[in-house]
Amino acid sequence: MSHGGGEGGGISEPNLTPLLDVVLQLLMFFMMCVNFVSEQVNEDIRLPQSQAVKPMDKADNDVLFINLKPFALKDFQDRLPADVLARVQERFRDGDECILIPGKEPMRRSDLKVWLNQQYKDAKELAESHGGKGVNTAIVIRAHKEADYAQVFEILQLCKNVGYTRLKLRALTKNTPGGGT
Amino acid sequence: MTTRRKPDSGPEPNLPITPMLDMAFQLLAFFVMTYHPSDLEGQMDLSLPSEELTRAEKPEQTTNAPTDQTPINLPANLTVIVRTQMDDVHTGQISDVRLQDDAGTQQVEVGKLLEELKKQHETVENKENIKIQADGKLKWQAVIQVMDACQQAGFKNISFVPPPNFHMSGQ
């Protein structure tokens, strides 16, 4: 049985370049997705599902994230250094209200009030030094679906009392039976 | 003048692609396996009173006391009152829904809330704003369900009323 024509000459090599192109593009996509996910999402927070949510405003740069969930020690056991974990264990019991700010230790509402006041003061000074009108920071509240209404309401009220007026609630997009979002 | 290149005028540069492809595949496999696509997040903008009405002059003015002068709700003719049972089994779930307007309060079945809100939307004076007053112990998922129903009924601005017996704890 003979394979192909020709004179049995040159060695045929597959052209790997297009394959490499595709692989590198896929690689780039996954690397960018991984960065994006770690920046935005706290996986401990199980957001409620909603049909009424709108896509996020990517142009909004001045944003503070407030994550709210019932405290569960297991969420922190492998993530925090021993001394921080001990402090957290002293302050929280399972089921307590726990506020998580990216880059900060778990907070209670009293800590949040102090932190928000400081953030507002700094933002106001910065805005005034740049000749701006006022603080334009948006507060994004990511509340766990098992959080109580009173807890979320108190955080909203606290943000309002400090002076923030741009408040946003996060939820997961729920597909409607008709196919829309 | 013609320049004719000889077919075997010298060694062709040979870039070894195979090791690079191997490495790229390994990295790709790593990222594919560690990639957890999260559900798409969206957000709801809250409708709030104007900034001048609500901003505290100084941070010290943000006391723990309930502050009626800084409401987070807008004027509306219709309020959805959502209650939950205070027992070990049903706490957090919706047990009772009422619609309150200028004429009075009317009880609504949970499953028929959307239908009833649509009816009310046709007749109510303020077709943009609606308030939600939920029990403090109601789970956030349930509140979001009610918000969904309000939006589907045509109300654009949803605001929140403090839960019954609400006091800022400031813990």
Predicted pLDDT at A113: 93
Predicted pLDDT at A54: 84
Predicted pLDDT at B169: 61
Residue B116 covered by a domain: yes
Residue B31 covered by a domain: no
Residue B140 covered by a domain: yes
DSSP state of A178: T
What CATH number should be reported for the domain holding residue B155?
3.30.420
Contacts of B40 in chain A (CB under 8 A): 172-173, 181
Tokens of B158: 């949803």
B94 has a pLDDT exceeding 80: yes
Supply the ipTM of this predicted assembly: 0.75
Residue B73 near residue B162 (C-beta atoms within 8 A): no
pLDDT tens, residue by residue, B152-164: 899 888 888 888 8
pLDDT tens, residue by residue, A35-68: 665 555 567 788 898 888 888 777 777 889 999 9
Q: Which residue of B has its CA nearest to A35?
A: B35
Answering whether pTM is above 0.90, one says no
Residue B128 covered by a domain: yes
Predicted pLDDT at B139: 92
B21 has a pLDDT exceeding 60: yes
Predicted pLDDT at A141: 92
Contacts of A43 in chain B (CB under 8 A): 36, 38
**More confident: A6 or B10:** B10
Chain A (117-136) residues lying within 8 Å, Cβ to Cβ, of chain B = 117, 120-121, 134
Structural domain span for residue B120: 74-161
Residue B5 covered by a domain: no
Predicted pLDDT at B3: 52
- Residue B135: C-alpha distances to residues B59, B81, B82 (Å): 29, 8, 6
Residue B81 covered by a domain: yes
Contacts of A165 in chain B (CB under 8 A): 48, 50-51, 54-55
B168 has a pLDDT exceeding 60: yes
Residue B134 covered by a domain: yes
Closest CA to B150 of B92, B91, B82: B82
As a whole number of angstroms, the distance between CA B81 and CA B96 comes to 8
What is the count of structural domains for chain B? Answer: 1
Question: Which candidate in A137, A160, A181 is best for mutational testing of the B interface (most B CBs within 10 A)?
Answer: A160
Tokens of B165: 């017996």
Residue A167 near chain B (CB below 8 Å): yes
Portion of chain A with pLDDT greater than 70, in percent? 86
